[in-house]
Amino acid sequence: MTKFFYLETFGCQMNVVDSEQIVDLLGRVGYVQVETPEQADLILLNTCSVRDKAERKVYGHLGRFKPLKEQRPDLIIGVGGCVAQQEGERLLDKLRFVDLVFGTHNIHRLPEMLAGVTGEKQRRFETEFLDAETRRLLFPERKADDAVTRFVTVMQGCDNFCSYCIVPHVRGREISRPSGDILAEIRDLAAGGVREVTLLGQNVNSYGLREAGEISFSQLLRAVHEIEGIERIRFTTSHPKDLSEELIACFGEMPKLVKHLHLPVQCGADPILAAMNRGYTRAQYLEKVARLKDVCPDIRLTSDLIVGFPGETEEDFGETLALVAQVEYADIYSFLYSPRSGTAAAELEENLDPKDKQARFDRLLALQQDISARIWQSDVGRVLPVLVEGVSRQGGGQLFGRTTWNRIVNFTGSPDLVGRIVPVRITASFKNSQAGELEADEVRAAS
Ligand code: SAH
Ligand code: SF4
Ligand code: F3S
């Protein structure tokens, strides 16, 4: 008999990729995905604990399922991802209606754990990290579907231990995937129609450094660049301290590499950067930004910033504002500092009350909104190459794709163009997307 599962995913791209694996594994043991929890025999949440808000959201959503379980005691409720990793068995103690808890290294165990829950009627948890022998299980090979652009995991975990960050605690030590496996997967994806890959890891710049005989991240990029059919390459996330001169040079030399780099700075003041254990100074960061702009003048940068880290003075915050104004990021993702238990910074006393923290956050946002609007508005009137990703759900003959700067562009065109890079004249710029018109003559000439 077919069984149905409902899956909700929180958090970062890592979790999105992990959820794809969950869907694949459950499909193999006869489960079919459904759109609402009410239709499901199995409900799974893939969770994030990076900030308090993210974690509370998970608990809020879990609470919604309790009445369903009361109505249908056979319903199985499982929790995976970073909250599951952190809480482990405690989650089973706290939430009596949860049956199954699996950590970030235990996704491959899901079918067996499920069999235990359904067969032996036992509540189960597994949160052990993989070891040297079994770590390849972290990187299951993924096949092409009809997507034009795909994420390819090149590493898992993080060794940086930024003092505020829970990720190294819940994802484990940094492990690089063998380059042979990565390249084989990308060749396969390219043969299946994928045109853009995003190489994914918590800190891709240190790819391979801890593995004897492995190539470096720049070498990996060069090898991906050689693969026929791949037209665009992105990667995320980069840690500024590991952004080598060799990698910076790639932006000037590799036509398939996009002119966009997400380079989280977190803060613009040296004392706070040191307390965050980021491993670079303001000057070192700005030097790398200057080098990037030297080798690739139209590169656009984006960043993550944390506001209100313990000890942040008005002067420190002023340095952050000045840095943001100087770098001119195309976009930033800013977060209120949120203490995470188990991290080094959780021991530090917070000096700001929530109101002042929020006021700083708002100032940063206002500054960035002006910069972003100016940058994205400057595209209007220009003809930009857009990789067409698909047909818009809204219909009306609309296609959508992205520019090299990762901005979504909506425009009218034939579905045959999906998978191709076409010239689009940008006609309007909105908060998160742009509108454009196909330069039809040029498309005909090129085909
Ligand atoms: N590995 C990536 C992403 C880490 S999590 C990186 O190093 O950039 C994504 C972002 O969440 C971080 O860049 C940071 O800005 C933010 N973040 C992490 N922990 C946080 C915390 N305790 N409080 C507020 N923001 C946090
Ligand atoms: Fe967290 Fe720092 Fe690692 Fe990023 S580099 S995941 S912020 S510890
Ligand atoms: Fe969240 Fe885990 Fe990603 S804590 S940000 S889902 S690595």
Q: Are residues 153 and 244 in the same domain?
A: yes
How far is it, in rounded angstroms, from Cα 169 to Cα 117?
27
| Among candidate residues 376, 289, 313, 304, the one with its CA nearest the CA of residue 334 | 304
Give distance in angstroms: CA of 163 to centre of ligand 2. Answer: 9
CATH code, 216: 3.30.750.210
Cβ–ligand 3 contact at 48 (below 6 Å): yes
Q: From the annotation, which residues make up the binding site for [4Fe-4S] cluster?
A: 12, 48, 82, 158, 162, 165
How far is it, in rounded angstroms, from Cα 418 to Cα 391?
8
Nearest residue (CA) to ligand 1, atom 14:
304
User: Which is higher by pLDDT, 2 or 423?
Assistant: 423
- Answer yes or no: are the C-beta atoms of 364 and 321 closer than 8 Å: yes
pLDDT at 440 over 80: no
Give distance in angstroms: CA of 191 to centre of ligand 2. Answer: 34
Predicted local confidence at residue 446, as pLDDT: 53
How far is it, in rounded angstroms, from Cα 14 to Cα 360?
30
- Answer yes or no: are the C-beta atoms of 39 and 125 closer than 8 Å: no
How far is it, in rounded angstroms, from Cα 351 to Cα 85?
30
The stretch 253-265 carries a mean pLDDT of 98
Domains: count for the chain: 4
Q: Which residues make beta-bridge pairs with 400?
A: 390, 410
- The amino acid present at 353, given as its one-letter code, is D
Q: Is 100 left (phi over 0), alpha (psi -120 to 50) or beta?
A: beta
Q: Are residues 402 and 421 in the same domain?
A: yes
The stretch 245-268 carries a mean pLDDT of 98
Place 120 in a pLDDT band, splitting at 50, 70 and 90: confident
| Among candidate residues 156, 157, 158, 86, the one with its CA nearest the CA of residue 125 | 86
Predicted local confidence at residue 443, as pLDDT: 61
Q: Are residues 137 and 49 in the same domain?
A: no
pLDDT one-digit tens code per residue, 279-335: 999 999 999 999 999 999 999 999 999 999 999 999 999 999 999 999 999 999 999
Structure tokens at 304: 């993550």
Mean of all residue pLDDT scores within the chain: 95
Quote the pTM value: 0.95
Q: Which of 13, 159, 162 to mutate to test the pocket of ligand 2 (most atoms within 8 A of CB)?
A: 162
Q: Are residues 83 and 196 in the same domain?
A: no
Q: Which of 361, 378, 395 is the last residue of a domain?
A: 378
Cβ–ligand 3 contact at 58 (below 6 Å): no
Q: Which of 362, 378, 394 is the last residue of a domain?
A: 378
Cβ–ligand 3 contact at 165 (below 6 Å): no
Residues 6+ apart with CB under 8 A from 412: 396, 397, 398, 399, 437, 438
On the 0-12 / 13-18 / 19+ scale of CB atoms within 10 A, 107 is buried
Q: Are residues 40 and 98 in the same domain?
A: yes
Q: Which of 39-43, 136-140, 243-247 is predicted with the least confidence, judged by mean pLDDT?
A: 136-140
Predicted local confidence at residue 208, as pLDDT: 95
Q: Are residues 180 and 152 in the same domain?
A: yes
Give distance in angstroms: CA of 214 to centre of ligand 3. Answer: 26
**φ and ψ at 408, to 5 degrees?**
-70, 135
Cβ–ligand 1 contact at 306 (below 6 Å): yes
Ligand 2 atom having least distance to the Cα of 161? 8
Q: Which residue has the tokens 């909104």?
A: 369
pLDDT at 441 over 70: no
Q: Which of 58, 82, 164, 174 to mutate to test the pocket of ligand 3 (most atoms within 8 A of CB)?
A: 82
How far is it, in rounded angstroms, from Cα 351 to Cα 340?
16
Cβ–ligand 3 contact at 157 (below 6 Å): no
Q: Are residues 301 and 414 in the same domain?
A: no
Q: Which of 156, 160, 263 to mutate to test the pocket of ligand 2 (most atoms within 8 A of CB)?
A: 160
Q: Which of 236, 258, 280 is the last residue of a domain?
A: 258
How far is it, in rounded angstroms, from Cα 199 to Cα 209?
16
* Helices (H) then strands (E): counts for the chain: 14, 19
Q: Ligand 2: residues within 6 Å at CB?
A: 158, 160-162, 165, 167-168, 202-203, 239
Ligand 3 atom having least distance to the Cα of 104? 2
The string of DSSP codes covering 136-205 is: GGGS------S-SEEEEE-EE------TT--HHHHH-S-EEPPHHHHHHHHHHHHHTT--EEEEE-TTGG
How far is it, in rounded angstroms, from Cα 255 to Cα 138?
31
Give distance in angstroms: CA of 102 to centre of ligand 2. Answer: 22
Q: Which residue has the tokens 């010239």?
A: 423
CATH code, 421: 2.40.50.140
Q: Are residues 366 and 429 in the same domain?
A: no
Q: Are residues 23 and 68 in the same domain?
A: yes
Q: Are residues 59 and 43 in the same domain?
A: yes
Q: Are residues 210 and 156 in the same domain?
A: yes
Q: Are residues 206 and 235 in the same domain?
A: yes
Q: Which of 16, 107, 167, 173 to mutate to test the pocket of ligand 3 (most atoms within 8 A of CB)?
A: 167
| Among candidate residues 368, 323, 316, 322, the one with its CA nearest the CA of residue 337 | 316
Cβ–ligand 3 contact at 11 (below 6 Å): yes
Cβ–ligand 1 contact at 357 (below 6 Å): no
CATH code, 51: 3.40.50.12160
Cβ–ligand 3 contact at 14 (below 6 Å): yes
**DSSP 8-state class, residue 231:** -
Predicted local confidence at residue 256, as pLDDT: 98
- Count CB-CB contacts under 10 A for residue 418: 19
Give distance in angstroms: CA of 408 to centre of ligand 3. Answer: 24
The percentage of residues in the chain with a pLDDT greater than 70, rounded to a whole number, is 98
Q: Supply the range of the domain harboring residue 179.
A: 131-258
